[in-house]
Amino acid sequence: MEKVHLISLGCPKNLVDSELMLGALARAGYAMTPDPAEAEVVVVNTCAFIEAAKRESIDTILAAAELKRDAPGRRLVVAGCLAQRYGAELREQLPEVDIFVGTGNFLDLPDLLRRSETPERRPAPYPGAAHLLPGLDAPRMRAGARHSAYLKVSEGCNHRCAFCIIPKIRGRHESRPLDALVAEARALAAGGVRELNLIAQDLTAWGRDLDPPASLAALLRALAAIDSLRWIRLLYCYPNLVSDELLATIADLEPVVNYIDMPMQHADDGMLRAMRRERSGAALHRLLDRIRTRIPDVTLRTSFIVGFPGETPQAFARLVEFVRAEQFDRVGVFTYSREEGTPACDFPDQVPDRVMRERRAELMEAQAEISMRKNRALVGRKLEVLVEGPAADSPAGPIGRLASQAPEIDGAVFLHGDAAPGEFVRARVDRAMTYDLSATVVASI
């Protein structure tokens, strides 16, 4: 029985692909190991969204190649977005890689590992944009916490944002059937999952392409009927598809947490048009007002790109003003990454790296003040916390999250008191930090 070590890079959507690969390998008779030195097969599931992710992927592949050199017979597999985007070039530049699989054929990996072609006859990377929607018979080996999971509801994206390469990697949007999603969610819940995070390239487009068409609100109603799911969270909502029906459903269904992750990318009208985001700054203000009216205690998370080509000091100032006016709960800020194959790559007036870094720091500083003020308002309150487990960098006690804190991307709650991973507790907030909280466990829930 050959042992496999898999390294998953990039976003939660990539993590789900990794878990499906692990499931396919396990069903084919391979064993998994957390130690790469023990593995006969090392798989790197890559990301290629922005330049920093590509560099991380290449560095990880080269490190894995060093492991291969130390163990004759060990095989190296490169999977995912980097293989899909640059597979032909990588096959020439990285002869130490035995197999490439892209975003459309990664479940073929067990069969490819059984084949014995010489390096010169290795299977070519999957060409063009591609994705796959797993069937109910596709096993998934969970790699994360037992109590929390991601549910990928669709693949691909129909938007044509000027900065984004994803449609050229993953292809056009395609929804998974409702019955398949409910069945997978039930299986996850039966395995101990209490928190389900819905993900997609465009979550709010789910169901529009089905026959008959469906809506994300309908999916939420079906998932909320699964008794053991306590938290259901929405990630990656596209602004112009956030409907009144969806907002009413979030407000009405108790398991659906009042949390909306809605990347906006900018707030200046000129920048939004250049980015092909289909919204004006005024329209975004109106949308946020509508969301807060219908869900008064909603947690709003968004992300912005600074340094997009043509971003003037005035345009950036309007973005900072927008963030200060709207008082978001969570904000991610990214410097623009010039990606070949995207329209923006050829735009004039590219912003210097130094200016982009300065603008990111300024916007993050503005948001840090907002975040600290919001966290201080929680001191003294008793709140529901999902316990994650021991804190990696602190021996003091376990770490957890509020419903308003998504895994990995938001802050955390450092707990004082006894609590087990996967348990929900009531905790009194004692101290506020910029993005994190410190709290004392007062009761189990």
Tokens of 220: 């939420």
- Residue 345 phi, psi (nearest 5): -60, -30
Q: What is the pLDDT of residue 49?
A: 87
Please report which confidence band the pLDDT of residue 394 belongs to, taking 50, 70 and 90 as the band edges.
Answer: low
Tokens of 443: 């009761």
The reported pTM is 0.94
The whole-chain average pLDDT of the chain stands at 93
Q: HEC string of the chain?
A: CCEEEEEECCCHHHHHHHHHHHHHHHHCCCEECCCHHHCCEEEEEECCCCHHHHHHHHHHHHHHHHHHHCCCCCEEEEEEHHHHHHHHHHHHHCCCCCEEECCCCHHHHHHHHHCCCCHHHCCCCCCCCCCCCCCCCCCCCCCCCCCEEEEECEECCCCCCCCCCHHHHHCCCEECCHHHHHHHHHHHHHCCCCEEEEECCCHHHCCCCCCCCCCHHHHHHHHHCCCCCCEEEECCCCHHHCCHHHHHHHHHCCCEEEEEECCCECCCHHHHHHHCCCCCHHHHHHHHHHHHHHCCCCEEEEEEEECCCCCCHHHHHHHHHHHHHHCCCEEEEEECCCCCCCHHHHCCCCCCHHHHHHHHHHHHHHHHHHHHHHHHCCCCCEEEEEEEEECCCCCCCEEEECCCCCCCCCCCEEEECCCCCCCEEEEEEEEECCCCEEEEEEEEC
- Number of Cβ within 10 Å of residue 405's Cβ equals 25
Tokens of 372: 């600290």
Residues 40-74: pLDDT tens digits? Answer: 999 999 999 899 999 999 999 999 999 888 788 89
Q: Which residue has the tokens 């509508």?
A: 290
Domains plus CATH for the chain?
Answer: 3-121 (3.40.50.12160), 148-376 (3.80.30.20), 382-444 (2.40.50.140)
Q: How far is CA 68 from CA 37, 54, 74, 96, 422, in A?
A: 9, 21, 5, 8, 37
Residues 326-384: pLDDT tens digits? Answer: 999 999 999 999 999 999 999 999 999 999 999 999 999 999 999 999 999 999 999 99
Best CA proximity match to 367, nearest among 325, 412, 313: 325
* Bridge partners, 384 (sequence order): 426
Tokens of 445: 């829930």
Q: What would the mean pLDDT of 408-422 be, rounded to a whole number?
A: 93
Q: Which residue has the tokens 């949007």?
A: 173
Tokens of 205: 């487009």
Residues 266-286: pLDDT tens digits? Answer: 999 999 999 999 779 999 999
pLDDT at 84 over 70: yes
Please state which of the ranges 110-124, 199-213, 305-319, 360-374 shows the lowest mean pLDDT. 110-124
Pairing, β 99-101 against β 41-46: unpaired
The answer to whether the CB of 12 falls within 8 A of the CB of 51 is no
**CA–CA separation, 45 and 165 (whole Å):** 17
